[in-house]
Amino acid sequence: MDQLWFYEKHTRGYGVRWKVKEVLHTEKTRYQELAVIDTFEWGKTLVLDGNVQVTESDEFIYHEMIVHIAMNSHPHPQKVLIIGGGDGGTAREVLKHESVQEVDLVEIDDRVVENSKNYLPTMACAFNDSRLNLHIEDGIKFVRDTSELYDLVIIDSSDPIGPAVQLYSTEFYQDVSRCLQQDGMIAVQSESPIFYQDTFVRVFENLSSVFPLVKVCLAPIMTYTAGPWSFTLGSKKWDPERIAGDKRSIDGLKYYNDDLHKGAFILPQFIKDMLR
Ligand code: AG3
């Protein structure tokens, strides 16, 4: 394939083109248009409704950030709930922590899981871990109905379009809070503060109306729009900025480390101003 390009439109006036090596798979699932493409710059890439979800080359940044900041600021996370994350990348990082006894992963679209198993085995390897329970179900309904209590809930969702809109609401965060332990935490992927400023601010405000401690951290994820990407943490007790006392660092990480944990919460002035 010499002339095939994938075009991701971000806003009315900005988009990015990726040269495609091969289109590996496309299908219309019950919920969305799904594609797996192999790209020259970023390796195999999962695309949902035209939006890049993960690439083999830089998924480590997103997944290490959405997981290890929360996991390391909570002193003993044993039971974790992941909403979304059907590629398995977030679960893979959670399961690196020895304290973890059980992970529930709630993905609405089983085709995301099946295609990740086929094409993205470096992420979907998580599904082989016996501590992981996969639920093919609507995450909103799951948190409303469950009587389980978790130490950490991670919202690894797509952009707030269609069925994911509710995952950014105060009502949803209240339901999450109800299924968290008294010292529980929530970690949310909260979009680009530049390209999705409304969503970014809304997540902060909505989480702040439910959790006493809310903090924002940033990381550059090259394949999502451009510039910084945000993660927002809501906590009932532990300060997400502080690494819990006796944490041992995990070997083999490629982005996260102790210094980065502290540095990630330093916000540029224009982003601080958005949250005032
Ligand atoms: N979930 C967040 C994807 C957001 C991408 N947005 C975009 N390209 N406009 C990723 C799931 C990874 N487990």
Ligand 1: does its nearest atom lie under 6 Å from the Cβ of 189?
Answer: yes
* 187, 177 contact by CB (below 8 A): no
In a domain, 206, yes or no: yes
| Token pair 């940033």 in the structure block, residue | 218
Domain span at residue 46?
Answer: 4-55
Tokens of 145: 């109905």
For residue 161, what pLDDT is reported? Answer: 85
Ligand 1: does its nearest atom lie under 6 Å from the Cβ of 90?
Answer: yes
Closest ligand 1 atom to residue 62 Cα is: 12
Choose the residue to mutate in 8, 14, 106, 159 for probing ligand 1, maximizing ligand atoms within 8 Å of C-beta.
159
For β-strands 51-55 and 150-156, DSSP reports them as unpaired
The CATH code of the domain that includes 40 is 2.30.140.10
Same domain membership, residue 46 and residue 65: no
For residue 184, what pLDDT is reported? Answer: 98
Domain boundary among 39, 55, 71: 55
Tokens of 120: 């993205």
Tell me the C-alpha distance between 87 and 53, whole Å.
9
Tokens of 173: 């965060």
Ligand 1: does its nearest atom lie under 6 Å from the Cβ of 51?
Answer: yes
For residue 1, what pLDDT is reported? Answer: 74
Considering its fold, how many domains does the chain have in total?
Answer: 2
Please report, in tens digits, the pLDDT of each residue of the chain (276 residues total).
788 999 999 889 999 999 999 999 999 999 999 999 999 999 999 999 999 999 999 999 999 999 999 999 999 999 999 999 999 999 999 999 999 999 999 999 999 999 999 999 999 999 999 999 999 999 999 999 999 999 999 999 999 987 789 999 999 999 999 999 999 999 999 999 999 999 999 999 999 999 999 999 999 999 998 889 999 999 999 999 999 988 888 999 999 999 999 999 999 999 999 999
* Residue 268 CA, ligand 1 centroid: distance in Å: 23
Ligand 1: does its nearest atom lie under 6 Å from the Cβ of 159?
Answer: yes
Same domain membership, residue 75 and residue 16: no
Q: Is the dihedral of CA 262, 61, 140, 194 positive or negative?
A: positive
Catalytic residue numbers read 156
Closest ligand 1 atom to residue 196 Cα is: 9
* Residue 55 CA, ligand 1 centroid: distance in Å: 10
* Residue 225 CA, ligand 1 centroid: distance in Å: 10
In a domain, 153, yes or no: yes
Same domain membership, residue 118 and residue 136: yes
Closest ligand 1 atom to residue 10 Cα is: 9
In a domain, 246, yes or no: no
Q: What backbone phi and psi angles, to 5 degrees, belong to 118?
A: -75, -45
At how many degrees (to 10) do helices 197-208 and 170-178 cross? 40
For residue 163, what pLDDT is reported? Answer: 73
In a domain, 141, yes or no: yes
| Token pair 């973890």 in the structure block, residue | 100
The CATH code of the domain that includes 179 is 3.40.50.150
Ligand 1: does its nearest atom lie under 6 Å from the Cβ of 231?
Answer: no
Dihedral angle, C-alpha 12, 190, 160, 115, nearest 10 °: 100
For residue 101, what pLDDT is reported? Answer: 98
In a domain, 143, yes or no: yes
In a domain, 260, yes or no: yes
* Residue 265 CA, ligand 1 centroid: distance in Å: 21
Same domain membership, residue 64 and residue 51: no
Choose the residue to mutate in 65, 224, 230, 232 for probing ligand 1, maximizing ligand atoms within 8 Å of C-beta.
224
* Residue 246 CA, ligand 1 centroid: distance in Å: 32
